[in-house]
Structure 1
Amino acid sequence: MTAIPYFFTIDDDGHYLPSKYALGRWAPDMLNGPAVCAAVARSLEHDFGLDDFVPARITIDLFKAARNAPLEVRTRAVRAGRRIHISEANVCQGETVVAQATLVQLRRATAPPGQEWHSEHPFDPPETEGHRRWYGSTDAGWTQTMGDHQNGSRKQLWAKSIPAVLDTENTPFVQLVMAAEATSLVTNWGSDGIGYINCDLTVAISRLPAGERIGLTADTHITSDGIAVGTATLFDHLGPLGTGMVTALGNAAAQIDFSGH
């Protein structure tokens, strides 16, 4: 039987201990973005998650490479209002802060009256039995192989996230934040691979996802002077539910080529 992959175990002091699946492709000793974002989302939700509120926005600044070493997530409440709750987190390795985050939770309310315009985003997720990830592009359609989509066309992703912590099921919020980190992948992936490394992630949602799979469709990719801004629509099998946004810096010297994967 194949072992189920996971990002972390938790020690007695509450530190996140990375597994081999938490390592990224930019450098051999560097943790990947979804792993760091998962630790942040899990800690903020655990410490400050509120049943009557929606985690409407989380912004995570990834300003220093997290290494293959224990992570500590230190959280605090900024505002505990009747309709809005704001909390913050620092991700630390020793005394070094490698990332920080802000979570905004909004109390559920009755929608205002009247007709409204709503964005309608085309999505057509593939059949998903037995495979964790599907990749899509305008040129190649949906397949299970990354190399099929090493092209200059618009990208999509339809995926089931691995557990953030061993023997612990992801909550919908943690699942969503982990998936949304792929905004950088679907917006910055071109014909020669991905040569931009994102320095942040912002996830804005109107509802939590239903089911275990989340999709992303690239909406914008804007570049100048080696700086990229990308946005993607997040969706589940019910339809669109939010937006991911990243800013990224050109990292051509460490370009990741997916053509052989």
Structure 2
Amino acid sequence: MSDGDAIFQPDGPDRFRPTELARGPWDPTAQHGGAPAGLLAGALEAFHSDVPMAVLRLTCEFIRPVPLTPLRVETRIVRPGGRVQLVEAQLHAGETVVCRALALRVRRADVPAPDEVDPAPDVPGPDDSAAVRMELFDTGPTMFARDGMEVRMARGAFDEVGPAVAWFRLRVPLVAGERPTPLQRLAAAADFGNGISSAVPWATHLFINPDLTIYVERLPEGEWVGLDARTRVGRSGAGLAESVLFDGRGRLGRSLQGLYVAER
């Protein structure tokens, strides 16, 4: 990969051209959810406010598979306010809305809270965790999970079912020429919860998340974001992936992904 590689290339005001690094695992013509989640997180946190605001909750709804074609972002205020705001960002492919994200923002304030945070899981750090080999996708095209994101397993394995803990770091900028914000890093990583903690085998089943919700207690410090993930699947074909988000200092928040589960 060259120094100019990024998940998205800017293509005019509020317009972006995804690269092959955005590709997801389920459809070679569609993006991994972490790519648009990170892109819209940046738009939502940057939306103007007269008072300083912090994103408390970020919810992404993947209305359609997000294509590897030029995209346009539209952002608007849904609930204005000086203490609490709700901001919406829509991702358009042509005239079709393919993804929508809502950010619940609260006013920043200094409060007498303890300096300590809940500790991170008792697992090796990223330097001592195993680099992931995604053998299922080794012969496939360029993709976000393998080429756009560095993944290191601290507990469990990518090709095994069951709970797992892993570290994530973007290999390239999310948007060319821009440094990813901590919220963008968090959003891009949080969409991997179902992928590392699958309750059914990758080779035989789909477990696609049509949504992603993140509650942010604090933003990550540094490039690495950890997920302590667990997936539960019911007999109806519905599932839920839950992840505790953390960095080297401790807990960051929690993410949830609803799942559609089916045999391939």
TM-score by length of 2: 0.81
In 2 relative to 1, CA 57–179 (structure 1 residues): closer, same or farther, beyond 3 Å?
A: same
| Residue 151 (structure 1) aligned to one of 155, 160, 183 | 160
What per-residue deviation string (whole Å, max 9, x for no partner) do you get for residues 22-68 of structure 1?
Answer: 11121121111111112211222222478732211010000201111
Task: Name 1:174's counterpart in structure 2.
Answer: 184
Report how far residue 156 of structure 1 moved. 1.5
The residue type equivalent to 1:166 in the other structure is: A
1:182 is displaced (CA, Å) by: 1.0
The equivalent of 1:105 in structure 2 is 105
Tell whether the 8 Å contact from 1:10 to 1:165 is kept in structure 2 after alignment.
Answer: yes
Task: In structure 2, give the amino acid aligned to 1:185.
Answer: G
Superposed CA offset, 1:128-170 (max 9, x none): 28x73202434xxxxxxxxx54223311210112311112110
1:250 Cα shift?
1.4
Q: What letter corresponds to residue 234 of structure 1 in structure 2?
A: L
1:83 to partner: Cα distance? 1.3
SS of the counterpart of 2:251? strand
- CA change 1:249–1:220 in 2 (3 A) is closer
Aligned pair in 2 of structure 1 residues 13, 119: CA closer, same or farther (>3 Å)?
closer
**Structure 1 residues 40 and 251, CA gap change in structure 2 (3 angstroms):** farther
What is residue 128 of structure 1 aligned with on the other side? 127
Distance of aligned partners of 1:19 and 1:105 in 2 relative to their CA distance in 1, 3 Å threshold: same
Indicate if the aligned counterparts of 1:125 and 1:215 stay in contact, CA closer than 8 A: no
Q: 1:185 to 1:123 in 2, by over 3 A?
A: farther
| Alpha-carbon distance change, 50 to 32 in structure 1, aligned in 2, over 3 angstroms | farther
Q: For 1:69-148, what aligned pairs fall within 5 Å after superposition? A: 69-109=69-109, 111=111, 122-128=121-127, 132-138=150-156, 148=157
- Is the CA contact 1:58–1:203 (under 8 Å) kept in the aligned structure 2? yes
Give, as a single letter, the amino acid of the residue that structure 1 aligns with 2:160. Answer: N
> Aligned ranges for residues 1-261 of structure 1 at < 5 Å?
2-3=2-3, 5-48=5-48, 52-109=52-109, 111=111, 122-128=121-127, 132-138=150-156, 148-161=157-170, 162-188=172-198, 190-193=200-203, 195-219=206-230, 221-253=232-264
Alpha-carbon distance between aligned partners in 1 of 2:261 and 2:4, rounded to the nearest angstrom: 34
Q: Does the 8 A contact of 1:136 with 1:149 survive in 2?
A: no
Number of residue equivalences: 241
2:140 equivalent in structure 1: none
Q: 1:169 is matched by which residue type in structure 2?
A: R
Are residues 192 and 45 of structure 1, via their aligned partners in 2, closer, same or farther at CA, if it must alter by over 3 Å?
A: closer
Counterpart AA for 1:60: C
Q: Secondary structure at the match of 1:195?
A: strand
Where structure 1 has 5 or more consecutive residues not aligned to the other structure, the ranges are 139-147, 254-261
CA RMSD of superposed structures (Å): 2.7
Q: What residue in structure 2 maps to residue 141 of structure 1?
A: none
Moved more, 101-110 or 69-78: 101-110
> Percent sequence identity over matched residues?
28
Q: Distance in 2 between matches of 1:37 and 1:97?
A: 14
| SS class of match (1:188) | coil
**Which amino acid counterpart does residue 242 of structure 1 have in structure 2?**
G
* Structure 2 residue aligned with 1:142: none
